[in-house]
Chain A
Amino acid sequence: MTRLSIEALEKRFDAVRAIAGIDMEVAQGEFVALLGPSGCGKTTTLRCIAGFESPSAGTICFDGDDVTGLPPEKRDIGMVFQNYALFPHMTVNGNLAFGLEMRDIAAGEVQRRIAEVLGLVQLDGLGERYPRQLSGGQQQRVALARALVIHPKLLLLDEPLANLDAKLRDEMRFFIRGLQKRIGITAIYVTHDQAEAMVMSDRIVVMFDGIIHQLGTAEDVYDRPATRAVASFIGLSNFFEGTFSGQVGVHYGLDTALGRIGCGAGFALTPGQKATAMIRPEAIGLASAVPNGAAAFQGTVAERYFLGNLADYRIKMADGSVLQVQQPATASFAPGAVVHVILPADRAWLVRERAP
């Protein structure tokens, strides 16, 4: 159970800044995902925490102890790699014993711990197999067991599910999360898969171009994205550009080409300022008649796609813009129909154009 603190972390590769100043705190036992597109610096951040990259600036502390200058073998971390990175010339037992041997743990205790961890990852009885004799999912669990058997301070996972097929990936998400909770270990998880990050983590760090755009719970990043980039990367969004018109009741007003829409905001704006609001497709309401009380904008159904549980619409608005709207498939609006589009103020959110 270790607390991780990262302060002003920077990593330059020649002229390229892979990480351009990162601060974050991870509490004991917390599961934090580093999420972002490839090249955003999430893997470099993880490799700095592991000690495989030495930062150009900044500090990394485990429980307040500065480990920035320590080599990986002195950091007491368990790491799981994307391609498993099992030792192909050793059996499962050999793989699991390796870290324990490095710690000079007595043979009897090694046996006991291996048996224990094999039980945890549900691979009892496979200790004598070689990695090549195991399926991808089994190899992944051996990699997880090998990282956990040394009882590390931190569990670091670098896209561990990227090589598995979709069904197995789904199962492993819950398996890894369940195991991490049971053991209570602090875990950092790198992924470019937003669904994986949302399902598994306590908090998500969303990164672009080497900086953190948002650090928050899955609800925070989905419902209240900090920047346009976060909103685009996680889930689907409609954006409205306009002029901020100040507070209207508990919400704020944004004058757009469609008219004034109400929205929430997580940062201070001054009236007259340019701003962008986002709203998720499923948050938008459609009605055939003008609804009472709610602000509605008239539009025409341009396209309709049936998704099974949902229907996906493209609504052409008066200003020529096209909105993506998702509704339960039960209600049906045919292409060409005139509809009233409701943009609930409590589901619309002002986003920054760049990271704060």
Chain B
Amino acid sequence: MKPGRAAYLTSVAAVYVFLMLPISIVVIASFNSGKYLRFPPEGFSLRWYAQFFASQPFMDALELSLVLAAVSTLAATLIGTPAALYYVRHAKNWRETFRLYTLAPLLLPEILTSIALLFLYYQIGLGTKTVAGLYFGHIVICVPFVFLQVTASLYNLSPAVEEAARSLGASPATVFRRITLPLIKPGIINGALFAFIISFDNVTISLLLKGVGTTTLPMQVFDYLRWDFDPTTAAASTVSILMTLGAVLAVDRLVGLRAMRY
């Protein structure tokens, strides 16, 4: 093996180790039978999973996080996709301004976005008595991810392909349904996956905007860790990792990750 290739493989391996090691330690720790979150674990047990699933606060938080992520993903996809189409194909003089505004939630520190939204909510009388503001905040930070991914896939799609379909007798609506949409589908799916993951483990936005008396899973884990140091949080983290993986696998099942090519 050439030294260059060895260095390359080593660095790839290092990236994997640094990314995966903390995660696998959390997963292993969640099966600990002892009373404290520690590594290596003291024996095998599923008791912390039982505790997690039996805990009403954790279940409420999990449910809110899942619904929140699903709704934010759907909304961000429905907003981000047309925004990308507009930006790439139709925006003329103000297209860079438009792009900047759309990406602003990604470019600005999230804490600024959430403080700004909080001010806005109190200004318009929405406050944080309901979860509406939380949903809105999550949608705002998810849109740029869909926008970026769909924009990239639109740049790869030559306008001539759509024109060819027009010349063959397809109306603009048919062209969108039969040509454009299938060809930007990978970007939409990628963007939606990003949106789901961003929403599902978001802390900053949720911290300020969550409604009174409600909480998301990452917030609940955080709150719980302040008073208890038992492996329930490791179980919660493992479940949330599984949820994220589940989202990826569900996409694979529904549309096929192989469909990512087209």
| A residues adjacent to B (C-beta < 8 A) | 50-52, 71-73, 75-79, 81-83, 85-89, 98-99, 102-103, 143, 146-147, 150, 156
Contacts and interface: CB of A to CB of B under 8 A. Distances in A.
B262 A88 contact: yes
A89 B262 contact: yes
Contact of B169 (A52, A102, A143): A102
Contacts of B56: none
A89 B182 contact: yes
Contacts of B168: 73, 78, 98-99, 102, 146, 150
A102 B158 CA distance: 21
B189 interface: no
Interface in B150-193: 158, 160-161, 163-171, 174, 178-179, 182-183
Given A81-B160, A85-B160, A72 B182 contact: no
Contacts of B158: 83, 85
Which among A82, A88, A99, A143 has the greatest number of chain B C-beta atoms within 10 A?
A: A88
A156 B166 CA distance: 13
Contact of A50 (B161, B165, B167, B170): B167
Contacts of B178: 98
Given A81-B164, A85-B163, 11 more contacts: A50-B163, A50-B167, A51-B166, A72-B166, A73-B167, A78-B168, A79-B164, A85-B158, A87-B161, A88-B183, A156-B167
A72 B167 contact: yes
12 contacts: A73-B166, A73-B170, A77-B167, A79-B167, A85-B161, A88-B161, A98-B170, A98-B178, A102-B168, A103-B169, A146-B164, A147-B167
Given A73-B171, A98-B178, A99-B168, A52 B163 contact: yes
A202 to B, nearest CB: 23
B interface, how many residues as a size bin?
A: 10 to 19
A325 B170 CA distance: 54
A75 B168 CA distance: 9
Contacts of B171: 71, 73
A99 B169 contact: yes
Contacts of A83: 158, 160
A207 B155 CA distance: 32
A89 B181 CA distance: 11
B10 to A, nearest CB: 34
Contacts of A88: 161, 183, 262
Given A88-B183, A89-B182, A102 B167 contact: no
A46 B185 CA distance: 31
Nearest to B171: A73
A150 B179 CA distance: 18
A51 B171 CA distance: 13
Given A73-B170, A99-B169, A103-B169, A87 B160 contact: no
B167 to A, nearest CB: 4
Contacts of A50: 163, 167
A72 B162 CA distance: 11
Nearest to A96: B168
Nearest to B156: A88
Interface string B96-121: 00000000000000000000000000
Contacts of A86: 161, 164
Contacts of A81: 160, 163-164
A99 B169 CA distance: 6
